[in-house]
Structure formats: C-alpha cells, structure tokens
Homo-oligomer: A and B are copies of this chain.
Amino acid sequence: MKGRSQPKPRARNALYAQSGGVTAVINATAAGVIEACRKHRGRIANLYAGRDGIVGALTEDLIDTSRESAATIRALKHTPSGAFGSARYKLKDLERDRARYERLIEVFRAHDIGYFFYNGGNDSMDTALKLSQLGAQTGYAVACIGIPKTVDNDLPVTDCCPGFGSVAKYVAVSTLEASLDVASMARTSTRVFILEVMGRHAGWIAAAGGLAARKAGDPPHIILFPEIAFDREKFLARVKQTVDVKGYCVIVASEGARDADGKFLSDMGTRDAFGHVQLGGVAPTLAQMIKQAHGYKYHWALADYLQRAARHVASKVDVEQAYAVGRAAVELALAGKNAVMPVIRRRSSKPYRWDISSVAIEAVANKEKMVPREFITADGFGITAAARRYLEPLIGGESYPPYENGIPAYATLKGARVRRRLSTTFTV
C-alpha cells in the first residue's frame, strides 16, 4: 500500500458496518472501534454505523455513535448479536454491481467518510477491497479496513476469527453437559444423542465439540466433519461399537456433513409433510439411520442461533480478541493503511500468547480455511492432539455478562439517525 495517497491530517468521519451472521462478540469489536475512535477525535470527527450494515450505508440510514454513552459502549463488550444491525447482502464484482459501489462512494462523499471499517467474513472482505479500489479509481480517498468476524473460523491468515472461540466454547460445554445427561440414563432410556452444529463448509465448530473430552474415550464419541466424506456403513458400525462398549454414543455433527459425492446429509433423509427437504436436517437424518439399523432410542438437538448468540458462556479470549481487532482497525486506518485487515497472530499455544498483526485484504477475500487433515484422527471421527493444541486456548477463560432479574443485562442503543445529506434514495 506504500505510495498510496494518505488521508489528509484534517479530521474526517468514519463508518462502521457489521456484516453477515452475527456472533456473541461482534459488538465487542464495535466497542473496540468506537472507543479507539473516541480516543482520536482530532483525526476522526464522527463515527457513524450503518443501520443493518451495508444496507444502512446504501440507503443513507446511518447511526450516530456519538449519541451513545460511554457506559453503553462498554456494555457492548458483553452484548451478543449485531447491536447496529447486520445484513446478508453480498455485493458482486465491480462490473455487475457498479451502481451499488458508486452509491456507497456517493454516501461516503456526502458524509465525508474517510475511514470505512467493515466487520465480516470472506464476502465482506471482498466488498471492502473493491470499495478501496473504486475509491482509488474515482479519486475519493477512503481507507477501507476489514475486521475479521465469523463463527465459522474459515478466514485464512488470521490464526482464528473473533466469534469462533465463543461458539466453540458453547459447543464444547453443551456437548459435555448433554453427554453427562445421556450417560446417566442410557441404561433405560436414550442411547444415542446427536448435536447438530453450524459450519456448512468448514468443520471448525464441530471440531470444538471434541474439547468436551478430558481424556481418550470420553464423549463425544463421533464427530462428523464436512471435510471427511460420510461413510454410512463405517458410521453405523462405529455407533454400534460405541454403544456396545460405553452403553451410549454421543455424536457432534456439522450441518455441512456430506458423502463422497458431496451430497449433504441434510438433503438425504428428512422431508416435511409437503415433500420439501428440511433445513438443518443432519441430526434427524442420522437419528433415523441409526434407529433403522440398530433400533436405539435417540435424542437430538439443533442449537441453531443459540450457539452463535450465547454470550452468557462466551470465551474470554474471544471477547478480548474481538475487542482488539476493532481497536487495531482504527489504528491501522490512522496509520494510513488501506485495504488491510487486522489478524490474530499466535505467539505460543502453552501458555497461550497472541498479538495483532495485519494483512492485505486481497490475501483473505473469498478464501476459506478448512480443518486440516492432521487435525482429524485417522478414522475421521475425532480430533487429534494437534487440533486440541490449536483449539483449547480459543475457549479459554470466562467472561460473564452482568445479570438483572435472572437474565443478562444486555445493552440497548439509542440508535439516533444521522441527518440525511442526499436527496436521492436507493432501494436495496
């Protein structure tokens, strides 16, 4: 990025937007961005946030973060989901979506946005990259900084992704607790329990289920990864063997589990009364398969959004990293960087030490990091010691929200709208 024109030293405004599926800690990143901006008022005049992410930017529906108190911003650190609203809204390439990109530059220009912080996954990094390119082409100076966020943990370069550690902790804790439940009743009741978890492409979240085991042989007994082709006979044999030996069998299944032809398990078995394939159907498909083959009584759970929203059992490490990448994004912008993304760098696993570095967005955009084969046991059903070494630090430490009347006291924003400056409207 050297040689690129630096933002002028005069104070300009900044825009922050959340993108894609929300997490338990994306608001901690928002807090990092906001608190860092507030420390640099001489350089960043106002920090706005897109309401519902990029949709708010396109429609000029911006939230004035300066109207939120310091206490509210602090409370964002313990508040899950996207406090400013997020969006599933992918911009395509510059040619096909030029009108949208130009609209964004128009809104940026109208509000003198000199810094754009885009907090999301692979797609969002691509958008940030293209915006910085269009800015350069059109002579509008805007530093576009990506900020990593995804429960899927599938961004490359960064050692891990904020949001993942907390869902990993949720899945590990839930697997442990459900396993104790099943173990205590297997003699006269449920023999097989299946927990279906997120991760359509990469099996990081399923792998985290393996952290429930303190020693070899502990549940979960089987993990199904998208990275390993599902083999029905081998799977059913392992279930039977486990029930024979342990009395019960606990399975953590990725929603992305698929067979050798790439066919998703969720598309195989369960259809609703109207003949439609059921979403999130991996667990019931497996349950029926087992019931048919072995006749075991089963139960299954589908954590769905509960897993990524579970701030009540967040990883302290994850919260700290989420905050740190937010703060680092502002520092990178103020250091004159453009089209970069802060990344988490692991310095050591035991004891766990990390710091923040940065990478050109190009190295990250539209790329996915799968669970490497050496993290999965030879039989394809578990995690290796190497995987544990990688994963365990990421769920380290507890970071509880304050409670009021029995439930967490999560932040609520005023969400005051910034006065519109454009007469044109834009329909998304």
Residues of chain A having any CB pair with chain B under 8 Å: 18, 21-22, 24, 52, 55, 79-89, 169, 172-174, 176-178, 180-185, 187-190, 193, 195, 211-212, 214, 268-274, 276, 278-280, 284, 288, 292, 299-306, 308-313, 315, 392, 394-398, 400, 403, 405-408, 410, 428
Contact = CB atoms under 8 A, between A and B. Distances in A.
A188 B302 contact: no
Nearest to A393: B406
A299 B303 contact: no
A117 to B, nearest CB: 17
Nearest to A195: B306
A72 to B, nearest CB: 15
Given A184-B82, A187-B52, A270-B272, A172 B284 contact: no
Contact of A306 (B187, B273, B303, B406): B303
A18 B180 CA distance: 14
A21 B18 CA distance: 42
Contacts of A405: 211, 392, 396
A102 to B, nearest CB: 21
A115 B424 CA distance: 81
A301 B302 contact: yes
A181 B308 CA distance: 8
B304 A301 contact: yes
B392 A169 contact: no
Copies per assembly: 2
A172 B407 CA distance: 7
Given A86-B185, A309-B177, A269 B272 contact: yes
A306 B177 contact: yes
A423 to B, nearest CB: 23
Contact of A313 (B87, B190, B309, B312): B312
Given A211-B405, A398-B403, 9 more contacts: A55-B187, A81-B183, A88-B188, A173-B408, A174-B306, A174-B309, A195-B306, A271-B272, A394-B406
B173 A312 contact: yes
A79 B180 contact: yes
Contacts of A403: 397-398
Contacts of A428: 188
16 contacts: A24-B177, A80-B181, A81-B177, A83-B184, A178-B305, A195-B306, A212-B407, A270-B272, A271-B272, A271-B273, A272-B288, A274-B292, A276-B288, A279-B299, A299-B305, A398-B403
Contacts of A406: 169, 172, 211, 315, 392, 394-397
Contacts of A178: 304-306, 309
A89 B308 CA distance: 37
A189 B88 contact: yes
Contacts of A173: 312, 407-408
A148 to B, nearest CB: 18
A107 to B, nearest CB: 17
Contact of A270 (B278, B303, B392, B397): B278
